[in-house]
Structure 1
Amino acid sequence: MAETPVHSIAVVQGAAVIDDVDQNLSTLATLVGEAAERGADVVVTPELFATGYAPERAWRHDGAAIRSALAGIARAASVSVVASSVDTAPSGTGDGAGASGGGAHRIAASVFTATGAEALRIHKRHLFGEVEKQWITPGDDYAQPFDWRNTRWGVGVCYDVEFPEFARAQARAGADVLLVPTAVPVVEEGVEGLGEAWHYSSSLISRLQVPARALENGVVIAYANHCGPGFTGGSCIATPFGRHAAHLGTEQGVAVVEVPLAAIRAARRVNTYLPDLSVALGDAPTPADS
């Protein structure tokens, strides 16, 4: 019988500079290196960090060259890295032209192994805001989870996790851990005169939504955000018990959490949402039901 794995998962956050790829890659190398020194075997980094989060500009940079540099960061630190870039289809492929003409631009998240190999690349399905919708093409579907070290991993990007369908699809496909690069801007909106209960803060995504997604689907979620001017920070690792195992503030930082697969299994015995859903829908049991 295979030994039940324990993974050491990290999220990192920092302040990126728009269009300064060299500086941003240097920041990532420092943060990933610190996570590796603290024992991480998987490090999740923020959405479009290498270019800075500016979808209307990020596609102008060489996505393939950025992915090569990100692979080098993983290889230098000897740790698996989840990082984001723009994936542009060659023009003339019939893959749909964006506002810039030529091939479609998609926001991607790649999983680079400790040897620098790109093991997986997925595309963001849910586009956030008018700028992304103008310049970026959405992914066709949620990516299937992948298997590594006796654990099944799902990957999404930012706004994907705000839709319950994403986490549920990953969990029903057997995912144990969701890895999510993100870029959450500061948004504070409310109804005047009605108090805090009628006020929205985008900081609620990491404080409330991510732990709720983890709880209702019996998964761990590692969610890495930008910090600095205009961003909420709050990168976190949420457990299937609906709580934060780590939650960073608004400054640059690294959080590393040991995740035993046995603890995920225990949470699923407490809250049997997935098998109960399968019964209600008349479905055959899914891999995550056990």
Structure 2
Amino acid sequence: MRLALWQTQGFPADINANLLALDVQLRAAAVAGAQLLLCPELWLGGYQVPQQMAALAEDADGPSAQRIAELCRSYGVAVCYGYAERHEDGQRPYNAAQLIDADGQRLANYRKTHLFGAMEHELFTPGDCLQAPVEWLGWRIALLICFDVEFPETVRTHALAGAELVLIPTALTPEYRTVPELIVPTRAVENQLFVAYCNHSGVENGLVFLGGSCVAAPNGERLGVLAGGEGLLLIDLDRAPREQWRAQFPYLEGRRPALYGALVTR
């Protein structure tokens, strides 16, 4: 699979401008042979827009999702994007990510389970479950969002459910560069899967983003990195060395679940 990560500053609180920019990037991704485009966390309406967040929230099958589905069909490229999802009971929205395939079908919609910091806890309702991986183009794909990947249990749960690729929209600032540089490759190698981590760039309403979008392989190698600025990172994912990697890093096969319950102190 050829994967494209779109690292972008975006247009805060301007959904239409972001959708127009997606049209341009999907065209570029299609020309480059990409089959799936990954966008950052809360890309649709912006991350640093606390006063407007509730008003920017949409249903999972709302007007923006329908427009994105049209673009996916037009260019033959799937899209995974972050957005604020309207709560079904009128409560605080969810910080969500949705995957729409190249035929415009909604494959998965995930609500961030591990909210980060005071602002996110004030603005959002946390999701209450991880979603099972979905299958597309023969790949089993799972979704997480930003802070979720920093908990080993989340990626391990997906690995045990058969995931081969985890897509992670994120909104990361420079003081947390350890995440793409160390944690993301670690999650990939310890779980024997690919991890794609797509960040914002630039400055949004005073909040500086790191960039640093990357894709890590099951051997822990980062296959590509976008340092700063806007751009598309194109990565070809190859599962051919999978058996070799699993023999080299037998973490899943070597597990002893019976040991991992409550510890007994003496």
| TM-score (ref. length: structure 2) | 0.89
Residue number in structure 2 paired with 1:243: 221
Equivalent residue runs for 1:136-175 within 5 Å: 136-175=124-163
Alignment RMSD, CA only?
A: 1.6
Q: CA deviation at 1:89?
A: 2.5
Q: Is the 8 A contact 1:48 1:58 kept in 2?
A: no
Q: CA deviation at 1:148?
A: 2.0
Amino acid at match of 2:257: L
Q: CA deviation at 1:18?
A: 1.5
Q: CA deviation at 1:242?
A: 0.7
| Secondary structure in structure 1 of the residue aligned to 2:122 | helix
| Secondary structure in structure 2 of the residue aligned to 1:53 | coil
- Of 22, 36, 48, which aligns to 1:54? 48
Q: CA deviation at 1:210?
A: 0.6
Residue number in structure 2 paired with 1:260: 238
Q: CA deviation at 1:234?
A: 0.7
Equivalent residue runs for 1:31-42 within 5 Å: 31-42=25-36
Alignment of 1:135 with 2:123, yes or no, is: yes
Q: CA deviation at 1:104?
A: 4.0
- Alpha-carbon displacement from aligned partner over 1:35-79 (angstroms, at most 9, x marks no partner): 221111111111111201136333312512222222233222211
Alignment of 1:19 with 2:7, yes or no, is: no
Residue number in structure 2 paired with 1:281: 257
Aligned equivalents of 2:23, 2:212: Cα separation in 1: 20
Give the fraction of aligned pairs with identical amino acids, expressed as a percent. Answer: 31
Aligned equivalents of 1:269, 1:33: Cα separation in 2: 39
Q: Is the 8 A contact 2:57 2:93 kept in 1?
A: no
Q: CA deviation at 1:118?
A: 1.1
| Secondary structure in structure 2 of the residue aligned to 1:16 | coil
Amino acid at match of 2:28: E
| Secondary structure in structure 2 of the residue aligned to 1:29 | helix
Q: Is the 8 A contact 1:55 1:136 kept in 2?
A: no
- Of 74, 78, 81, which aligns to 1:80? 78
Alignment of 1:218 with 2:192, yes or no, is: yes
Aligned equivalents of 1:146, 1:140: Cα separation in 2: 18
The 3 A distance-change label for structure 1 pair 65 and 58 is farther
Aligned equivalents of 2:92, 2:57: Cα separation in 1: 14
Q: CA deviation at 1:180?
A: 0.8
Amino acid at match of 1:243: E
Q: Is the 8 A contact 1:214 1:241 kept in 2?
A: yes
Aligned equivalents of 1:42, 1:263: Cα separation in 2: 22
Residue number in structure 1 paired with 2:264: none
Q: CA deviation at 1:133?
A: 0.3
Aligned equivalents of 2:243, 2:112: Cα separation in 1: 28
Q: CA deviation at 1:254?
A: 0.7
Aligned equivalents of 2:5, 2:111: Cα separation in 1: 20
Residue number in structure 2 paired with 1:123: 111
Amino acid at match of 1:72: E
Residue number in structure 2 paired with 1:231: 209
| Secondary structure in structure 2 of the residue aligned to 1:246 | strand
Aligned equivalents of 1:27, 1:227: Cα separation in 2: 15
Equivalent residue runs for 1:95-106 within 5 Å: 102-106=90-94
Q: Is the 8 A contact 1:10 1:222 kept in 2?
A: no
Q: CA deviation at 1:282?
A: 4.4
| Secondary structure in structure 2 of the residue aligned to 1:276 | coil
Aligned equivalents of 1:90, 1:153: Cα separation in 2: 26
- Of 34, 45, 53, which aligns to 2:39? 45
| Secondary structure in structure 1 of the residue aligned to 2:245 | helix
Runs of 4+ with deviation above 6 angstroms: none
Residue number in structure 2 paired with 1:90: 88
